[in-house]
Amino acid sequence: MAVEVVSDSEFQSILEQNSKVVVKFSADWCGNCKLFAPKFKRVSNEAENSDMVFLDINAEKNPLARKLAQVDNLPYLAVFKDGVYLDGSASNKEEYLRGLMAQL
């Protein structure tokens, strides 16, 4: 599944409409965010993850989503189940991403 780039205005409705949501928060100036983007995209395209929605949100331009996920550094990875924030942390490690996804 492709990674969707979304804003605050779409974020809440996506959480309400999807059971399993994986989010990468980033910023245009963040080098580690850019380096992690291809890994995030590759994981999102894996067949076993087809039941999850993958989102990319610019943390600087979307304060409501940032607050909901408790973003404190970038890149920040978070998971939501049935609209509820489960867990997240600043990381650019694929292993951490997979660990978060296992919670879903």
* Catalytic entry in 33, 68, 100, 101: 33
Whole-angstrom Cα distance, residue 40 to residue 23?
9
Amino acid 63 reads P
Phi, psi for residue 71 in degrees, rounded to 5: -65, 125
Is residue 43 part of the annotated active site? The answer reads: no
Q: Which of 3, 6, 23, 30 is catalytic?
A: 30
33 catalytic, yes or no? yes
- CA 51, 56, 62, 68 torsion: positive or negative? positive
Active site residues: 30, 33
